[in-house]
Structure 1
């Protein structure tokens, strides 16, 4: 499995422009390229991975600070997710929309998958929320992230 995504294809340029505009972000070449790279990545990318993939896709190295800023803006706009692994490295991927709000993350390749809905889970999360409130903790949002090894890495 290749760590670096395929170079962006021209057809996605319009999609990335629309996504950026609808999220209130400036449409720049860097923002479009980074968003397209994350869209086509088979697994979450580190900052260094994004810089390397950007260079491969465009033939020119981007400014590293610009890439940091673009990634931060994409996270703030909800277009991508930032996850900090056990190795304390930030990894970025396109936002995973899970109907259940819950995800699985592979500890080896850091791939993120939406978990299927389970009718019992909201009840369990609600009970946990009530118990936390008894301890003075107010939860605004609850989501479950399961960690383990995906089928590709286990195989």
Structure 2
């Protein structure tokens, strides 16, 4: 028997994006705050600070969120791999939806902090393999390698 949800989905929910299923499949509790934050990150074009997430939450729901709840939700989304935490040159944490890049490599704009997937390059895995081998010779065991290029995106360059 299905019970009614006392916390309806915020107006940002899109038919092709089911935050409830995504949260459940990631082993996270489905809460209104988690759904709202996940959907906010899904619909933004650039990473948001904690304060920007809280402000967007207020705009989307008409209610100010508890700041600690937002911190906890963001931490859980990062741990589950549903969003990425990036620390900018200004040492501010910014959060964005997880970017799935076929190559695992990304570009981050140093001005707006937008993150884009890099196109695949057949030579890059070879280069990354050589770097991993050189690190292993130094006694460093890498679990995961990914490349992030920094620079200025086309929008910010204008």
Question: TM-score w.r.t. structure 1 length?
Answer: 0.92
More helix per residue: 1 or 2?
1
Deviation of the 1:54 alpha carbon = 0.4
Q: State how far apart, in whole Å, the 2-side matches of 1:13 and 1:73 are.
A: 23
Aligned position for 1:64: 67
| CA displacement 1:26-53 (0-9 Å, x = unmatched) | 0000000000000001100000000000
Corresponding position: 1:84 with 2:87: yes
Out of 138, 143, 146, which is 1:140 matched to?
143
Deviation of the 1:11 alpha carbon = 3.5
Corresponding position: 1:108 with 2:111: yes
Q: State how far apart, in whole Å, the 1-side matches of 2:50 and 2:15 are.
A: 21
Q: Is the 8 A contact 1:43 1:110 kept in 2?
A: yes
Q: State how far apart, in whole Å, the 2-side matches of 1:8 and 1:48 are.
A: 20
Aligned position for 1:46: 49
Out of 14, 19, 27, which is 1:16 matched to?
19
Deviation of the 1:112 alpha carbon = 0.2
Q: State how far apart, in whole Å, the 2-side matches of 1:114 and 1:85 are.
A: 18
Q: Is the 8 A contact 1:8 1:40 kept in 2?
A: no
Change (3 A) 1:38 1:14: closer
Q: RMSD of aligned C-alpha atoms?
A: 1.4
Aligned position for 2:120: 117
Q: How many residues align?
A: 149
Structure 2: gaps (5+ residues)? 1-9
Q: Is the 8 A contact 1:16 1:36 kept in 2?
A: yes
Structure 1: gaps (5+ residues)? 1-6
Q: State how far apart, in whole Å, the 1-side matches of 2:138 and 2:61 are.
A: 53
